[in-house]
Amino acid sequence: MYDYFFFSALQLKRDSLGSPTQRFFAFLCVGLLLATRLASAQQCPAGPADTIPNGGVGSDSGGALRWTVPQVRGTLLDVLRNLKYQIVEPVSDTGAIETKPSYRFPDDPVARTFRNYKHPGIVVRAYVRPEGDSSRLFLFFRAICRVSEAPPPGYAVPVETSLEVLAEDELTSAMFLRLLREYPAHYPSCANTPSPDTAVFEVSQLSQPQFLISGPTLEYPDSLRRQGKSGRVVYSVIINKDGRVDVRSVTVEHRDEVEFEWAARRWLEGARFSPGCLNGQAVRVRRSVPIDFKVRR
């Protein structure tokens, strides 16, 4: 639009600029264009960041959640506001949410490494869609500006990418803790009826599926985060009748990095699952537990 005004102002005939009003209009258009371009250059002196957002929840097709759309959407909005994000109004009734650029550094101690850099600005976009009685969340983080300075020693990805990841970790952790606290899962009816049978059953034998109830914060190994490395650890475990992992049963089926395995093991030992139910009684269950560490680009 401004380019059109700029072109139009320069093409005005000499005699059409005769009146003070017309001259004012022409120079105002030129001034608007120059001011807009100058402001843009000042905002991103090193140029805009790439347009590939960091995806924060679940797989590339979004994260399936057991909470309803109103629960997820309301919690997400509250957490965004608590973290000082400004929501772009109006917020869509369909669950689409977008924020204005935030220039706040996360409280994560790792973020202190980046406080000497000019913050590139982070925009959050989220879409919550119904899926049966639950929901699916699409959550994206994107930097506005590129940071020209080299990243700190040990970091293999640009500064703006690291800040996208840190913003993602901060928001998703706060959101899930709030959801777990305010909308706790109801224990299956078999939780108070343990089976006298000490046998270990397979997941396929259960009459009621298991699900994760709670778990500690999964700590991303700092050395691997700096290198932008993603990975997965898969455990084979026995879940006891109380929903806790039998730590003596834990074996590693797959790991990408030993540092991931150490962090995943700490999370696993603090996790709690719903008990496996067979004919109304809680039983011990052998199952695989995948734990993902992923930096999405």
Domain CATH for 223? 3.30.2420.10
Q: What is the pLDDT of residues 12-54, one digit of tens each?
A: 333 444 454 444 444 444 443 333 333 444 478 888 887 777 6
Same domain, 194 and 177: no
Same domain, 37 and 91: no
**Confidence band of 76 (pLDDT split at 50, 70, 90):** very high
pLDDT of residue 294: 75
Alpha-carbon gap, residue 156 to 229, rounded angstroms: 9
**Confidence band of 222 (pLDDT split at 50, 70, 90):** confident
Give the number of domains in the chain. 3
Same domain, 62 and 177: yes
pLDDT higher than threshold 90 for residue 240: yes
Closest CA to 118 of 140, 142, 146: 146
DSSP character string of 138-149: EEEEEESB---S
Same domain, 78 and 160: yes
Alpha-carbon gap, residue 149 to 143, rounded angstroms: 15
| Mean pLDDT (whole number) for 244-271 | 91
pTM for the full predicted model: 0.57
For residue 125, is it within any domain?
yes
**Confidence band of 205 (pLDDT split at 50, 70, 90):** confident
Same domain, 214 and 246: yes
| Mean pLDDT (whole number) for 128-138 | 82
DSSP designation for 41: H
pLDDT higher than threshold 70 for residue 209: no
Same domain, 62 and 33: no
For residue 49, is it within any domain?
no
Same domain, 289 and 207: yes
Helices (H), 117-210: 159-182
- Give the bridge partners for 284, in sequence order: 200
Same domain, 133 and 210: no
For residue 90, is it within any domain?
yes
CA distances from 260 to 149, 215, 224, 295 (A): 29, 16, 8, 13
258 Cβ contact partners less than 8 Å away, ≥ 6 residues apart: none
Same domain, 166 and 63: yes
Which residues form the domain of 135? Answer: 54-182
Same domain, 175 and 78: yes
Q: What is the pLDDT of residues 185-197, one digit of tens each?
A: 665 568 888 999 9
pLDDT of residue 232: 86
pLDDT of residue 83: 94
pLDDT of residue 91: 61
Same domain, 37 and 99: no
Same domain, 210 and 194: yes
* Average pLDDT score, the chain: 78
Domain end (from 129, 155, 182): 182
Domain CATH for 58? 3.30.310.80
For residue 48, is it within any domain?
no
For residue 224, is it within any domain?
yes
